Chain A
Amino acid sequence: MRRSDRESRLHDHYLRHSKKFPNVWCAGCGIGIVMGALVRAIDDLQLHRDDVAMISGIGCSGRMPVYVDFNTMHTTHGRALAFATGLKMVRPDMRVIVIMGDGDALAIGGNHFIHAARRNIGLTAIIVNNFVYGMTGGQHSSTTPTGALATTAPYGHIEQPFPIVELAQASGAAFIARSTVYHVQELEKLIAQAISKDGFSVVEAVSYCHTTLGRINKWGTAPDMMRYLKENSVSQKQAEKLSDEERSWKIVRGVFADRDIPEYTQLYDQVIERAQAEEATG
């Protein structure tokens, strides 16, 4: 099938035509690229739309579910993973995908993130990391680089950023990957792998916000920031050849964890079996 044929089929099949496009995102934003990669990943996996739920929190990324034709839910700020946990527990057969931004997932929702990972419940968490609160206009987030300017850090940001991959690693996630919105085909593959994983899977999709952080710090236009992702990211193999100092300035892409650990809803089925056996024997 020609590329354009596939694209139009995907548009027809997965996007909600009754909903008024264009979307709310700024021209040049990376979130739409993540949405495209996600739709293609779901198509690659041949999942039925009825079996997919997409849950989001608040912020620019929170708007994604409204555009796609799945079972979709736009919840409260930071709590998407907790809503998704309840849904997954009563519908373990469904593929529940949670889309969050860095503020949503790691600041207001940071506690839910580490606990969902610790439980290893079968959700796919996609974090669009643009290093800033974009929808509210450029306040520093929990991934904003130290030293950057933000509307709430007018003299330079003095906090350390959260390393998402390491945080997920320490919290016990089964699958952890990272790519960027420039490397869209790789992103699509990693998302497909994450959705296929039984346990808690995390994909950090590194993006940018040219209308807030980029503008305030004079980092250039959307194409400039996209070029930055291209030129400053390396595969894990390439990263191995770099010194620690060199590596610390790069975005390392790839799969960082792929562990086979028991998934929560499957373990809970065993709880039900044990409880019912106790009931039967009195």
Chain B
Amino acid sequence: MKKPEEKEPQPILLQGDEACVEGAIVAGCRFFAGYPITPATEIAERLSRRLPKVGGKFIQMEDEIASLAAVIGASVGGAKAMTATSGPGFSLMQENIGYAAITEIPCVIVNVQRMGPSTGRPTRSSQGDVMQARWGTHGDHPIIALSPSSVRETFDLTIQAFNFSERYRTPVILLMEEIIGHMRERVDLPDPETIEIEERPKTTVPPDWYKPYENYPLDVPPLVPFGEGYRYHITGLHHDERGYPTDRPDEIRPWQRRMQLKIERSLSDILLYAEDEDEDAETLVIAYGSVARTAHHAVREARERGRKVSFLKLQTIWPFAEEVVEHAAAKVEHVVVPEMNMGQLVLEVERVAGRQRVHRVNKADGTIMQPTEILAAIEEWAR
């Protein structure tokens, strides 16, 4: 018998911001707190309509600081939770990103990047917050940041962001761009039944034994929501395994080690990227976000002109895919890194591949990167 028609994927026209919302709903997001800001407002608007329909909750807070605070509070209550903002709001959220990191409370922070610094150009695209996503909050901390290059990838990576945040008990930043957020594309969304969704791991021990920050044997001890009989303490102070403040180096060090290890030991899971390799390539182009599409176009055009070029698209920006880049760069003479900023992720590429053979293509005037601009760099270095 023929399968029912409605199982066939229906192509729809969707904006990046809208795809983020749909991804969040599928991922199980049931709480959103945010503050209006261009170009991320559409995410809040659509979630205010969508969340109550699935029994979720939406709140518009008085600012972005409160927004992330409410998201963390909701996550402590057991809900998958997120906020969405752009440059100025992302700056305001930095303190609470650090709080989510040290307290290991899962949450997703969407930053639809616009031109900065300060108010910059609200409706113009940028990749200017790459380093802020890594080091914006004070103190050492691991972080995960993902960067989608299309509307469909926004849907997929929003789900990944939730899965990673729950799996690794960490804030995850989805670094979108105005171009992606506001662009409408035809997308085929997958059947939600086929998508892997991570649920928050449950503890197997009784309340008296429960340690929310236990350092052994797991890298990621389960987080029990408030109100379920496991009364414990959460603090932004350095804490012991039970969550109580501590000054003792012998209690702080194992925690710091676990914080590093929980990400480092899972890089094979966390690092998302795509390669389009030419075995004989002399030049490698590394890009992410919207620029990855421009770059891939330029790479194909260069090949038509007889150039030997490989392409690497990074979807996971942080942690930086050191070994992947090192391995890909080892096969070529030159590495070209186009970015819509004055040179941010290229610093990491230079660190791994060596400064002499890494070439920057930067554009930060608010206009979209053109394939010709990347092509010119490829032509210059690929003989």
Contacts and interface: CB of A to CB of B under 8 A. Distances in A.
Interface of A: 16, 18-19, 49-51, 53, 55, 65-66, 69-76, 79, 82-91, 93-94, 111-112, 115, 268, 271-272, 274-276, 278-279
18 contacts: A50-B228, A66-B233, A73-B233, A74-B233, A74-B237, A76-B69, A83-B76, A86-B81, A89-B57, A89-B59, A89-B74, A91-B226, A93-B227, A111-B63, A111-B66, A112-B62, A274-B52, A275-B49
B10 interface: no
Contacts of B81: 86, 90
Given A55-B73, A90-B74, 9 more contacts: A18-B242, A75-B72, A76-B95, A83-B70, A86-B71, A89-B74, A115-B62, A276-B53, A279-B53
A49 B227 CA distance: 9
B62 A72 contact: no
Closest 3 A/B residue pairs (Cβ): A86-B73, A86-B70, A82-B69
B69 A90 contact: no
Q: Which of A70, A86, A87 has the most CB of B within 10 A?
A: A86
A179 B242 CA distance: 35
B77 A72 contact: no
Given A79-B65, A111-B63, A90 B79 contact: yes
A274 B53 CA distance: 9
Contact of B57 (A16, A66, A268): A268
Nearest to B30: A90
Q: Is the interface of B mostly helix, strand, loop or mixed?
A: mixed
Given A49-B231, A86-B69, A76 B99 contact: yes
A70 B231 contact: yes
B15 to A, nearest CB: 21
A272 B231 CA distance: 30
A112 B228 CA distance: 27
B69 A83 contact: yes
Contacts of B79: 90
B96 interface: yes
Q: Is the interface of A mostly helix, strand, loop or mixed?
A: helix
Nearest to B73: A86
Given A71-B231, A75-B69, A271 B95 contact: no
Nearest to B67: A82
Contacts of A70: 231
A278 to B, nearest CB: 8
A90 B72 CA distance: 11
Nearest to B246: A20
B381 interface: no
B233 A65 contact: yes
Interface string B230-241: 011111110000
A13 to B, nearest CB: 12
Given A112-B66, A272-B52, A76 B96 contact: yes
A85 B232 contact: no
A72 B233 contact: yes
A89 B226 contact: no
B226 A94 contact: yes
Interface residues of B, number: 45
Interface of B: 30-31, 33, 49, 52-53, 55, 57, 59, 61-63, 65-67, 69-79, 81, 95-96, 99, 225-229, 231-237, 242, 244-245
B52 A91 contact: no
Contacts of B231: 49-50, 69-72
Given A72-B233, A87-B226, A94-B226, A79 B76 contact: no
A101 B95 CA distance: 20
A49 B43 CA distance: 37
B77 A82 contact: no
Given A50-B228, A272-B55, A275-B52, A79 B66 contact: yes
Contacts of B33: 85-86
A89 B65 contact: no
B245 A53 contact: no
Given A76-B99, A82-B65, A87 B233 contact: no
A73 B227 CA distance: 13
Contacts of A69: 231
A66 B235 contact: yes
A83 B103 CA distance: 13
Contacts of B49: 275
Contacts of A279: 53
B236 A276 contact: no
A195 to B, nearest CB: 16
B52 A271 contact: yes
Given A69-B231, A85-B61, A79 B96 contact: yes
Contacts of A75: 69, 72, 99, 236
Contacts of A71: 226-227, 231-232
Contacts of A87: 73-74, 76-77, 226
A76 B74 CA distance: 15
Contacts of A112: 62, 66
A173 B52 CA distance: 26
A18 B241 CA distance: 12
Given A73-B234, A74-B234, A276-B52, A83 B78 contact: no
B309 to A, nearest CB: 47
A216 to B, nearest CB: 28
Contacts of B228: 50
Contacts of A115: 61-62, 66
Contact of A275 (B53, B59, B242): B53
Contacts of A50: 227-229, 231
A245 to B, nearest CB: 37
